[in-house]
Amino acid sequence: MKLSIIVPVYNMAADGKLEYCLESLVNQTIADYEIIAVDDCSTDESLSVLKQYESRFPGKFHAVHSEVNKHQGGAKNIGLRLAKGDWIGFIDSDDWITPDMYERLVTRAEETGADLAGCDYSLTGEHSMKVGQVVPNNKKEQAGILDTEKRRSLILDGGSLVVKIFRRSMILEHGLWFPENIFYEDNALGNSYLLLANRFEYLEEPLYYYYQHEESTVHTVSPKRCEDRMEAGRLMLEEAKRHGFYDTYLPELEYSFTLLFYVNTLFTYMAGVDGTKYGFVKAMGKEMKRTFPGFEQNPYYRERTHAEEKKLIRMQQRSTLFFMLYYKLLWAYRNWRKAHKG
């Protein structure tokens, strides 16, 4: 079999979101492929929708039900264990793709001998094939045979995994199983999926549609999600050590960890969580300093981190209490100015 498309599904039955995704998958132009849709113990009608598609497309569409909610990582692992295709594609169950996306990616990968191929995506808020804001998922200079410099670039700007395909033999050879029961599983495994490839091919076209809506996981903030983002950072470093590229790419990994574990989590937590906890923020800062004592001198951190964020991070490193008070007052003042503008 040429391709296995793995679709983790959790509570996506409302408003036709799941059907729109699945319709784009069953109408792919590539020959000899399968769709493995894994229901992650949904509480809505998602499983019923999947079973309808399995009845309509026997042999092509496989509806799988997990009795336990394991988050996307667990659902992806179930799909990987069942997959028979030479190539693996992942897609979020509220997104959709052009009819020829997988055919074009597989063709390019097989023509060039790549282990990995990807494209760009379009941001949209409506169910249509109209191209919205195009987001480059990678850079053309990252494509080709992967040398040290290309791999450095992929650690820093690897892009999303769902707009790529991967050679299944590479995944199995290196045991690239996703962490389960946490969010941000792609952040934990993303570097391994990219750096262990020998060649990467890239189509500079938006063949994937990323659907923006209120229920999307990227719009949800909770203490659990912040903790999971930190855990994903820890797992990212463990993966780098397990596969032997930690020392070679230490500056890039240090910055990636700082961004994922600390910078993004800290400001997401402070802005989005009600009832922020002093102990949580203090422990986060201490672990950051313990893991990479000199992170503020990292060249990527100095170049890429906004000046105000660096100021606030320096403040948190010196005094968590002062940082939290200052941050709350700063945003209260900014919200007041916004409300009284004009």
pLDDT at 204: 98
| b/e 98-136 (16+ beta carbons within 10 angstroms → b) | beebbbbbbebbeeeebbbbbbbbbebeebeeeebeeee
CATH class of segment(s) 3-218:
alpha beta
What is the pairing mode between strands 96-97 and 199-211?
antiparallel
Amino acid at 112: T
User: What is the rounded distance in angstroms from the CA atom of residue 133 to the CA atom of residue 112?
Assistant: 29
pLDDT at 100: 98
User: What is the rounded distance in angstroms from the CA atom of residue 78 to the CA atom of residue 37?
Assistant: 10
pLDDT > 60? residue 217 = no
Mean residue pLDDT of the chain comes to 96
Query: Confidence class of residue 11 from pLDDT cuts 50, 70 and 90?
Result: very high
Structure tokens given for 253: 């990994």
Residues in the chain: 342
DSSP string, 139-167: -GGG-EE--HHHHHHHHHS---GGGEEEE
Q: What is the pLDDT of residues 47-104, one digit of tens each?
A: 999 999 999 999 999 999 999 999 999 999 999 999 999 999 999 999 999 999 999 9
User: What is the rounded distance in angstroms from the CA atom of residue 100 to the CA atom of residue 205?
Assistant: 12
- The residues spanned by each domain of the chain are 3-218, 221-339
pTM value is: 0.95
pLDDT > 60? residue 235 = yes
Query: Confidence class of residue 218 from pLDDT cuts 50, 70 and 90?
Result: low
DSSP string, 276-325: --HHHHHHHHHHHHHH-TTGGG-HHHHHHS-HHHHHHHHHHHH-HHHHHH
User: What is the rounded distance in angstroms from the CA atom of residue 13 to the CA atom of residue 57?
Assistant: 19
Per the model's pLDDT, the better-predicted residue between 331 and 59 turns out to be: 59
pLDDT at 189: 97
pLDDT at 334: 87
Structure tokens given for 291: 């893991």
User: What is the rounded distance in angstroms from the CA atom of residue 323 to the CA atom of residue 335?
Assistant: 18
pLDDT > 80? residue 215 = no
pLDDT at 106: 98
Q: By percentage, how much of the chain surpasses pLDDT 90?
A: 94
DSSP string, 92-126: -TT-EE-TTHHHHHHHHHHHHT-SEEEEEEEEESS
